[in-house]
Amino acid sequence: MERKSAAGSVRNKERSKKKFLDAVGKILKTKGYAALKINDIAATAGVDKKMIYTYFGGMDGLMDEYIRSQDYWSNVTTETMMPDPKDGGKAFTEAMLLQQFDYVYNNKELQKLLLWRLSESRKSLTKLTNMQEENGETLFKLIIDPYFGERSQDFRAISAILVSGLYYLNMYASVNGSVFCGIDLNTDDGRDKIKKAVSFLIEQTYENL
């Protein structure tokens, strides 16, 4: 009986935690980040707000876990996909950028988080940036830097433009309109053109850098 009781307690905890995380996402999508208040999150989740402190240690802990669950680059590690040192991480880099493009487009909650990060200084959002940079640094030092040598900083600069540009195009398409430079970002044809451009730029970078 004790084992069953313990297992039931764990399941209840995980269900309640998921309700809180889902509530954050729902509020973020429908009302925006300004509406993320502890009482509103608890009411949306249908769980006593005291459990936010019990399960997450408070609002910051809840936001940390939520952001971690949504972000693309914070979850890209050598454990999830190992770059091939033979091609200097070329196939890996192309795959990650194309996946990022689709992931952000389909994740409205992440789009809200990205807009939030640009408009407000918050501890949880700073942690998001730090997580992304730490993971990126590991990947750069493991494969990219040894491959490009003294030109590695140039590759990093190109990567920065590509990553940020893909972020922006998705948020632009979601918020302000769908056409950018004459390309409709909300159509399969338009998005395919962007993906082909990314592949072209990666190919040129590895050939010419």
Segment 166-186, tens digit of pLDDT: 999 998 888 777 899 999 999
**pLDDT band at residue 1 using 50, 70 and 90 as cut-offs:** very low
Segment 55-104, tens digit of pLDDT: 999 888 898 888 877 777 666 655 555 677 789 889 989 998 999 999 99
Q: Which two tokens stand for residue 73?
A: 């680059």
What does pLDDT average to over the chain?
A: 85
Under a CB-based contact definition with an 8 Å cutoff, are residues 23 and 45 in contact? yes
How many angstroms separate the CA atoms of 4 and 22, rounded? 27
Under a CB-based contact definition with an 8 Å cutoff, are residues 155 and 86 in contact? no
Of the candidates 99, 78, 116, the residue with the CA atom closest to the CA atom of residue 162: 99
pTM: 0.76
Number of residues that this document lists for the chain: 209
pLDDT at 80: 55
